[in-house]
Structure 1
Amino acid sequence: MAAYQDQVRTVLSDVVDPDTGTDLVGSGAFRGAAQTAEGAVIDLVLGYPGRSGHDGLRAQVQAALAAAGLGPATISIDQRIVAHVVKDGLTPLPEVKNIIAVASGKGGVGKSTTAVNLALALAAEGANVGVLDADIYGPSVPRMLGVSGRPHSHDNKHFQPMIGHGLQCMSIGFMVDEETPMIWRGPMVTQAMQQMLNQTAWSNLDYLVVDLPPGTGDIQLSLSQKVPVSGAIIVTTPQDIALLDARRAVAMFAKVDIPVLGVVENMSTHRCSNCGHVEPVFGEGGGARMAEEQHVPLLGQLPLALAIREQADGGRPTVVAAPDSDEAAIYRRIARGAAGRLSLRARNKTMGLPKVSIE
């Protein structure tokens, strides 16, 4: 039996999980193999939510076993999401395992649409997910998730998160009228962001996706210094100006010791609704070049599609409005890739430890 397990370990050390970019042994996913009276069994435990990728991973493993002269096996795939290390001096929130910041160097690149669809994709892949709208001046999460009303408090200290399409969410947009401008200076904005983060009664979240405002200003600096962020995702478009600002965002996270999980290129191409011609209206290959230059993964490229905008504006983003669409599949692949790469980082062993008091 041990000999079979060793054989399987050798085979799986050459099988690369596309969502982590690492082999199944090196990532710690391989947990054991055995031959029983009913046949061979292989146990895999992924550190990220990846339901829609399980069948493809099983096919990879079966093909590798066949190529090595081993027979087919029953492949059990489970997923176990843990808290990962954050910047020194910071500890995770009690009910939030990992915080993923979604940022952009400039506005108008589809960052909020990406953040909301990313959160929905993580949930669809099997995670408990929340969204924090940290764009105080331009909150858009309430409309995108189709949520209205005011958050309630059971203890006069914490707000209960609003729920949109199964996501726990909080936004300054729930506190003020949609058309009321937030005429606040920087310190008030950062204080509001921290209050929403710390005074929301988040419940058992695997991931909290934070939709940051564009740029590298007060909110981003406060987030990096005071919030236990596990990783960041940069959203850009292929045009040179957007890429220039996106590089600044990558550099900012590097300076504050927050890992960039990857780059998402939005509005990559446009398909004509009349003739079907595909054209890169904002340039071509910019996101891929930037990702290569900055030594970070290109998580995915999304088209400039009318449906994505209409669905977000209508309160039913693409992942829930058209779950079988090509665009939803891209969002889910981005979610698996980002969470998969985060799963390779060291575990935060302080998360979940019991509190000990001496009297």
Structure 2
Amino acid sequence: MSPTPTTDEALQNAVEAELRTVRDPEADVSVFEAGLIENIHTTDGTVIIEVDLHDFPPQEAESVTATLMKAASAVDGVRRAHVEQVPSRPDTDGRTAGIGTADRVIAVASAKGGVGKSTVATGIARSISAAGDSVGLFDADIHGPNVPELMEVSGPVHSDDDGNPIPVEKRRVEIMSVGLMSDSAPLAWRGAMAHDALSELFEETSWHDPDTIIIDLPPGTGDIALTTLEAVPIDGVVFVTTPFHAAVSDTHRSLQLFEENDVPVLGVVSNMGEFICDNCGEPHDLFSDGDPIAALNRPVLAELPFDETLQEFPTVSDQELPASLRSLGDAVSERYDDIWSVDVPPEALDIRGMNAENRYDAIENEFAELESGEPMYVVSDRDPSPLQSHLVDLSDGIEELDTFAVKQQNPETWLVRTVRP
């Protein structure tokens, strides 16, 4: 009879030797040769065997698990044996590196911390996913990444064939966060380090062609927000605030930063403004300053109460999402469509994408064919204000046009209506 191993290392070696005698009956090789054993951990007589049985049908996987536990338990010195399934390795096919792979990128921001921004960001992602879109959720709050905890995910983060990190998937949402690649220690990164780390994740994360990516930004308008504005083509931003006058004042200054960088503000989420009393069932305001959010003059996408169900929602299925979050996802998508869907008259001249010479040729030809009093519509991807003086030059004996109306539909589209003199 062999002596009982006296150290964790010796016990691990003994367990490994015993497991090498276990064979895969179909392939007629050992479980190690078949690649089923990922790792073995031993601590004070407790053995944990990490295995990869994803390719096995459930009954066969249970049979292999039982065989491994029996073999490990038979080793002298083993008091308890456990078999744990490692997370499945993501498919590397059909992936593209870079956050720009998404059809639309929506940021979720706040001027202050503690207003529920990450909860709202995960709620929007889950809601849009439940509506049928494929969704990515990027946690850009590198100093306090909360998304992994809210979505109940953890590493390891695998890589594709080019070494690019692959997001972790949960409930049909792809999730990337610095928090998935670090331990629980705080990330005390200075500006340059944070900028470099975030830029690399933006450029290198390998997504599976999501329709929408939601970016959870850190609070405020610091380096990370500026880095995101420089590195990512953001199509819209949702601001989260409590209905408290100081928080709303800071929100006003923050949303101006995004608009100055040509990012449309989709709207505002008012969070934790009231709670429902368990005893009387009546709503009670948590702030008594009237309606300061109205001063922002932006659409209010949702007014979310202080509600325990919103704190628990990541644990429930998509079908059980709180109605307020489902409505929020719909409101974000509708507002996005209002901004980015351009209703172009069928007779309009579309000069988007043309070079300068072709633009002017097309405009001159269109204008020349009009009779006096006929309207002319132009769709442009740059500010068309200089067009007015050019049309005046093309007209005889006038100093200005009677009609020249410009509407900026979104940061990339202008609509012009004028009338031939």
Instruction: Give the alignment's TM-score, normalised by structure 1.
Output: 0.64
Deviations 1:252-287 (A, max 9, x none): 112222111111111122110111121111246536
Tell me what 2:133 maps to. Answer: 127
Tell me what 2:252 maps to. Answer: 247
Q: Verify the 8 A CA contact 1:237 1:243 in the aligned structure 2.
A: yes
Counterpart-to-counterpart distance in 1, 2:132 and 2:292: 28
Change (3 A) 1:116 1:150: same
2:180 to 166, 174, 184: 174
Q: Which amino acid aligns with 1:253?
A: F
Change (3 A) 1:280 1:345: farther
* CA-CA distance at 1:327 after TM superposition: 2.6
1:303 to 302, 305, 313: 305
Tell me what 1:322 maps to. Answer: 320
1:154 to 139, 160, 165: 160
Q: Verify the 8 A CA contact 1:104 1:234 in the aligned structure 2.
A: yes
Q: Verify the 8 A CA contact 1:100 1:232 in the aligned structure 2.
A: yes
Q: Does 1:184 align with 2:189?
A: yes
Change (3 A) 1:158 1:198: same
Change (3 A) 1:195 1:342: farther
Secondary structure of the structure 1 residue equivalent to 2:189:
coil
Tell me what 1:290 maps to. Answer: 295
Equivalences for 1:258-273 in 2 at 5 Å?
258-273=263-278
Tell me what 1:139 maps to. Answer: 145
2:118 to 112, 115, 125: 112
Deviations 1:163-214 (A, max 9, x none): 011101100011111x211011011112211111211111211111000000
Counterpart-to-counterpart distance in 1, 2:323 and 2:329: 10
1:102 to 94, 103, 108: 108
How many residues align structurally? Answer: 249
Counterpart-to-counterpart distance in 1, 2:331 and 2:303: 9
Equivalences for 1:231-242 in 2 at 5 Å?
231-242=236-247
* CA-CA distance at 1:93 after TM superposition: 4.8
Structure 1's unaligned 5+ residue stretches are: 1-91, 351-359
Q: Does 1:274 align with 2:279?
A: yes
Counterpart-to-counterpart distance in 2, 1:345 and 1:267: 35
Structure 2's unaligned 5+ residue stretches are: 1-97, 345-351, 354-421
Tell me what 1:46 maps to. Answer: none
Deviations 1:61-83 (A, max 9, x none): xxxxxxxxxxxxxxxxxxxxxxx
Counterpart-to-counterpart distance in 2, 1:282 and 1:116: 25
Q: Verify the 8 A CA contact 1:263 1:287 in the aligned structure 2.
A: no
Secondary structure of the structure 1 residue equivalent to 2:202:
helix
Q: Verify the 8 A CA contact 2:107 2:217 in the aligned structure 1.
A: yes
Show structure 1 runs of 4+ deviating over 6 A.
none
Q: Verify the 8 A CA contact 1:95 1:204 in the aligned structure 2.
A: yes
Change (3 A) 1:345 1:272: farther
Counterpart-to-counterpart distance in 1, 2:133 and 2:163: 27
Tell me what 1:341 maps to. Answer: 338
Identity %: 36
* CA-CA distance at 1:320 after TM superposition: 3.0
Change (3 A) 1:94 1:239: closer
Q: Verify the 8 A CA contact 2:148 2:154 in the aligned structure 1.
A: yes
Change (3 A) 1:136 1:93: closer
Counterpart-to-counterpart distance in 2, 1:206 and 1:257: 21
Find the structure with the greater CA-based Rg. 2
Name which structure has the greater RCO, CA cutoff 8 Å, separation 6+: 1
Q: Verify the 8 A CA contact 1:267 1:302 in the aligned structure 2.
A: yes
